[in-house]
Amino acid sequence: MAELNLVEAVNQALAHALEHDPAVVLLGEDIGANGGVFRATLGLQQRFGAERVIDTPLAETAIAGTAVGMAAMGLKPVAEIQFSGFLYPALDHLINHASRLRNRSRGRLSCPLVLRTPCGAGIHAPEHHSESPEAMLAHVPGLRVVMPSSPARAYGLLLAAIRDPDPVIFLEPTRLYRLFRQDVADDGEALPLDVCFTLRGGTDLTLVSWGAMIHETEAAADALAAEGVMAEVIDLATLKPLDMATILESVARTGRCVIVHEAARTAGLGAEIAAGLAEEGLYSLLAPVQRVTGYDTVIPLARLEQQYLPSVARIVAAARRTLEEAS
C-alpha cells in the first residue's frame, strides 16, 4: 500500500479505470503531455496513449459536450475542467443534456460521464480559481455530485463515479490535493455513492460538512473534545442525492446540528440540510440548527481568503451556541 496525497489518489484511480475498462477515456486541457496543471493525470497519456488520454483544444463547452456524445455512444469519458471557475460554459451540456439524456430517451440512451474539476479556496489561487459551485450542480435533477475529503475516499469514490451508469460531477478540493498523505490500496475497490460517511461518533452534537472543510470540522471536534463535548462528524461525500437518513439518525441522538461549508451561504447545501432537519427531525432538535459558511460575497483573493473560509473558531462558536440552548 502506498502513502498517497489526494491528487495522487485521483491519478491512481484514473490509471486503474483506464487499465481495466477499455471504454474509459480522459479528456481535458493540458491533461496529456503535461499531466494536468495539478498533475492529476501525470503519466497517463504516456501509459495509455493519446487516443485515450486526450489533450483537447481550449473549449469548456466542447469538453462537456463531446463527453456527452462519447458517453451516449458507449464510452466512459472522464472530462477534466481545469478549474471550477471555468465550469460555467459547460453547464449547458451538464444541465440540458448529460443530466436528462436517459430520461428524454426513456432509457434508450444514457450518459455515464464523469466531470472532474478542482474546487474551493485556500491555495492562494488567482481570481476564478477558488469557486465552490456544488449547490448549483446539486440542484440539477439527474446529476450526481460527489466531493471527497481524503485520499482514500478520493480513490474509492472516483472509481464509483466512473463505474456509475449516470453522469457524476466529481469536485476535488484543491486545498486537499497535497495537504496530507494516507495509505491507499490500489485494489480497485469502489466506495459507495449516495451515502454519508460518519468519521467519528459523538453524543452531544452533530457536525456535518464535506470536502476541504472536513479538515476544520474535525479540528473543531478535537477542540470540543478537549472541553468534554463529544461531536459526531459526518462527511456528506455525495452531495446529491443527499443521504438525509444518516444525518437525521445522528441528530435524533445528539439533538444538535452545525453544518459547515465554504460555499456562499444563500441557497447553499446547508440550507437544504437544515430544511430536511426541520421537516423530518424538528422534534429531536434541542437547539436551532446552525450554519457556518462562506459569506455571500465573491470569494476574495488570497489576502482575505482565510477570513472568508469558515475557521475552527467559527465552527466551535456555532457549536457552543447550540450547546448553550436549554435542553
Partner 1 sequence: MSTVARFHIEHVRLIDAEGEALAPLPAFARDPAALVPLYRAMYLTRTFDAKAIALQRTGKLGTFASALGQEAVGVGVAAAMRAEDVLLPSYREHAAQLVRGVKIEESLRYWGGDERGCDFSGPRSDFPNCVPIATQVCHAAGAAYAFKLRGEARVAVCFMGDGATSKGDFYEGMNFAAVWKAPMVLVVSNNQWAISLPRSAQSATATLAQKAIAAGIDGIQVDGNDVVAVHHIAREAIERARSGGGPTLIEALTYRLGDHTTADDASRYRDPALVQEQWALEPVARLRKHLLHLGAWSKAQEEALAHECAETVNAAVEAYLATPAPDTAAMFDYLYATLPVALQGQRASALRFAPHNGGDHDQSS
Cβ contact 148:172 at 8 Å:
yes
Nearest residue to 198 (alpha-carbon basis) of 187, 185, 207, 188: 207
84 DSSP assignment? G
Q: Is 142 in the site for partner 1 (CB under 8 A)?
A: yes
Grid cell, residue 301, equals: 483573493
To the nearest whole angstrom, how small is the minimum distance from the Cβ of residue 67 to partner 1?
6
Interface pattern 43-62 for partner 1 (x via CB under 8 A): --------xx---xx-x-xx
Q: Which of 12, 41, 45, 66 touches partner 1 by CB under 8 A?
A: 66
Cβ contact 246:201 at 8 Å:
no
Given the residues 97, 129, 215, 261, select the one marked as catalytic: 129
Q: Which of residues 85-114 bind partner 1 (CB under 8 A)?
A: 89, 92-93, 96-97, 101-110
Alpha helices in the chain (DSSP H): 6-20, 44-48, 60-72, 88-93, 101-104, 134-138, 151-163, 213-226, 244-254, 269-280, 302-308, 312-324
**Quick one: 72 or 154, whose CB is closer to partner 1?**
72
To the nearest whole angstrom, how small is the minimum distance from the Cβ of residue 99 to partner 1?
8
| Calpha distance 87→80 (Å, rounded) | 10
Q: Is 163 in the site for partner 1 (CB under 8 A)?
A: no
Q: Is 300 in the site for partner 1 (CB under 8 A)?
A: no
**Contact residues for partner 1, defined by CB under 8 A:** 25, 51-52, 56-57, 59, 61-62, 64-75, 77, 89, 92-93, 96-97, 101-110, 141-142, 144, 164-166, 194, 241-245
Residues marked active site are found at 129
